[in-house]
């Protein structure tokens, strides 16, 4: 008689610990990016530069909140998903949004890309989740639900705002450093004509600030992916589905960073926006516990049967003449 593989469910206490750890690491990185931007502004123009850096960061953060519909339709070429194409999917998204405590479920869009991809965009009050038809066709119901829950967790965790904030601060750092380098270059030119030589150690120190800010920004992105994975497990109660979806995606599509070679994998990890699949699956194992029958989570959910929740859909670009 064939022995059945053990089933696992979410360990709520482990998820809480993982969330606290991820939040602490996230805000420590964001604070470090802010301190670098503040130092760049102060080194560039004293307290006036410090105030200017904060104002520019705030303006960039507010101006960067583009409407989800505008981004997905005009920039990425997506279109709203017709409920007739997948009648079960709105039910699934509504259930996930209710479990996440969202006021309303995000809107669904299709993307015209041939890759396996899903993403969330917009703001907390105007969020949208987009996916490609290839993703819906490649994954079975439980795995597709886990991917969708991962994107819903991004919306619930405020990652859309947080990443916009960190990116805005990093842009301020680069702007201040570029201005300082230009001033130093202008000082060198003036020194060639007999003016006092400029103090060059400040721009030389600041030269590494944009690189450090970008590395910290990437670290924040990776940490939020771990947190979204934990959120997906919390919403579905099914860590095996999330792990299986990650393994299927890398098996079907591969990993771009792995194609670059293995000479310096530690350095390549610093340049990733997402953790490796191995790291994510290991983190999922830490927040899983053996299931006791009956299995909680999606039990009794009529839209998660044997068939995928999304029918075969064909993308038609509404903007093409």
pLDDT at 18: 82
List all residues 6 or more positions away from 231 whose beta carbon is below 8 Å from its beta carbon: 100, 149, 150, 152, 153, 154, 156, 157
- Give the number of other CB atoms < 10 A from CB of residue 181: 15
Give 108-134 pLDDT, tens digit per residue.
998 888 889 899 987 767 888 999 888
pLDDT at 196: 60
Distance of CA 316 to the CA centre of its chain: 27
Residue 302 vs residues 8, 102, 174: alpha-carbon distances, Å: 21, 22, 51
Tell me the pLDDT band of 226, cut-offs 50, 70 and 90: very high
Give 159-201 pLDDT, tens digit per residue.
888 888 787 777 777 777 777 777 667 666 666 666 665 554 5
Radius of gyration of the chain from Cα atoms? Answer: 23
Residue 69 vs residues 72, 130, 213: alpha-carbon distances, Å: 5, 10, 30
Cβ density class 70-107: b for 16+ within 10 Å, e for less:
ebbbeeebbbebeeebbebbebbbebbbebbebeebbb
Highest mean pLDDT, choosing among 46-60, 70-84, 306-320: 70-84
Instruction: Report how far apart the first and last C-alpha atoms of the chain are (Å, whole number).
Output: 60
Tell me the pLDDT band of 242, cut-offs 50, 70 and 90: very high
Is it the case that residue 153 has pLDDT exceeding 90? yes
Check: CB of residue 111 under 8 Å from CB of residue 77.
yes
pLDDT at 266: 66
Tell me the pLDDT band of 154, cut-offs 50, 70 and 90: very high
- Indicate if the alpha-carbon torsion angle 163, 212, 207, 268 is positive or negative: negative
For the chain, the domains span 8-290
């Amino acid at each position: 008689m064939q022995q059945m593989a053990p089933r696992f469910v979410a360990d709520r206490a482990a998820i809480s610990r993982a969330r606290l750890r991820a939040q602490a690491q996230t805000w420590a990185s964001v604070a470090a990016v802010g301190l670098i931007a503040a130092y760049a502004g102060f080194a560039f123009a004293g307290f006036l530069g410090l105030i200017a850096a904060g104002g520019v960061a705030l303006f960039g953060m507010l101006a960067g909140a583009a409407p989800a519909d505008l981004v997905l339709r005009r920039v990425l070429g997506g279109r709203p998903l017709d409920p007739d194409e997948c009648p079960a999917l709105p039910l699934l998204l509504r259930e996930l949004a209710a479990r996440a405590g969202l006021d309303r479920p995000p809107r669904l869009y299709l993307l015209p890309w041939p890759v396996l991809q899903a993403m969330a965009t917009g703001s907390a009050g105007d969020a949208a989740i987009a996916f490609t038809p290839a993703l819906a066709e490649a994954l079975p119901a439980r795995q597709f639900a886990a991917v969708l829950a991962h994107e819903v967790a991004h919306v619930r965790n405020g990652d859309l705002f947080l990443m916009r904030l960190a990116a805005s601060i990093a842009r301020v750092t680069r702007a201040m450093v570029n201005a300082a380098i230009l001033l130093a270059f202008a000082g060198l030119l003036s020194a060639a004509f007999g003016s006092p030589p400029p103090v060059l150690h400040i721009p030389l120190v600041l030269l590494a600030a944009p690189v450090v800010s970008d590395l910290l920004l990437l670290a924040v992105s990776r940490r939020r992916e771990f947190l979204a994975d934990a959120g997906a497990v919390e919403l579905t109660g099914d860590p095996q589905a999330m792990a299986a979806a990650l393994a299927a995606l890398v098996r079907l599509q591969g990993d771009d960073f792995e194609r670059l070679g293995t000479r310096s994998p530690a350095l390549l990890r610093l340049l990733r926006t997402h953790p490796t699949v191995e790291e994510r699956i290991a983190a999922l194992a830490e927040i899983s516990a053996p299931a006791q029958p009956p299995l909680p989570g999606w039990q009794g959910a009529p839209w998660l049967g044997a068939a995928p929740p999304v029918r075969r859909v064909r993308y038609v670009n509404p903007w093409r003449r």
